[in-house]
Amino acid sequence: MLYTSFSHLPGIGRATSQRLNAAGIYTWDDALSRQDLPLESHLRGEFLRGLEESRKRLEAGDALWFSQRLGNAEQWRLYPHFYHNAAYVDIETTGLAWPQAAITSIALYDGKDLKVYVHGHNLEAFLDDMEEYALLITWNGRGFDVPFIRRALQTPLQMAHLDLLPVFRSLGLTGGLKKVEKHLGLDRDELDGVDGYTAVQLWREYELTGRESALETMLAYNAEDVFSLEFLSRYACAQFGCPVQSDGVKPVNPFKADLRLLSRLREERAARGGRW
């Protein structure tokens, strides 16, 4: 959790944090109550002022302030404090490189409600809805989703951001989202094996034919991504010793996949040798 972290403060790295812990200082309160801080004299004043500022920022719910000061692999510390006001977000695209590429859909899940935004329909509404949340949660969002959203929707999207990819790397779990899900025993049932390539195929099918089932299947896949992010966020925090309570109810995907269409697209993909 945040109040057991010192690494967001200037001059406090891993070695200094370990030295504080070795002296029995594990929390902000521990540090503020001690007169014998094991710190160089020139660091003590700034360190104590930083802790007081941290208290005020946390009380004010300023997630961005902490996010800007924590390393990518430490952003999980935000989750226990802000999960109740978090947005799990994932995008689908046309699969091309920028600037030829476009966002086809965005899924947003807040632990209760699912919202989807579709190119040519309501994509711009995503930015207004995001103003309700304090914490953005993605998988590889720093490298893909957020830069894409910023360019496509011409927005800074400046908010606290928990990208789970570097967090899971620090836990020794590497690879993409689907690989990590498999490792943890997650099953997407009828959407098992569907990936970003398939999402591109589904969007092309929708554009060419106007077939609503193609769009709905893509949105079903997009929704499963954000549902997964909630589970993975809780899993990561539990590994770091700060489990977050869950009601144990699995989200119900409101979109239904067209299994016949998926079967045909798999056959077409195989016939092309997996090429775009």
What are the mean pLDDT values of the chain's consecutive 10-residue runs (276 residues total)? 94 93 96 93 92 98 98 97 98 84 96 97 97 98 96 95 98 96 93 94 96 98 97 96 84 96 93 71
Q: Determine the residue type at 42.
A: H
Interatomic CA distance for residues 159 and 7, integer angstroms? 20
Q: What is the pTM of this model?
A: 0.95
Predicted confidence at residue 276, as pLDDT, reads 57
Q: Which residues contact 124 (CB under 8 A, 6 or more apart)?
A: 117, 153
Residue 128: predicted pLDDT? 97
219: CB partners within 8 A, 6+ apart: 105, 107, 116, 118, 255
Tell which residue, 10, 14, 79, 80, has the closest CA to residue 47: 10
Q: Is the peptide bond before 254 cis (omega within 30 degrees of 0)?
A: no
What is residue 271's predicted lDDT score, i.e. its pLDDT?
Answer: 86
Strands (DSSP E) found in the chain? 86-93, 103-109, 114-118, 135-138, 160-163
Cβ neighbours for 16, distance < 8 A, ≥ 6 positions apart: 6, 39
Cβ neighbours of 249 (radius 10 Å)? 6
How much is the pLDDT for 122?
97
Residues 6 or more apart whose CB falls under 8 angstroms from that of 267 comprise none
Q: Which of 79, 66, 7 is nearest to 238 (CA)?
A: 79
Query: What local confidence, expressed as pLDDT, does residue 245 receive?
Result: 84
Q: What is the per-residue pLDDT for 247?
A: 76
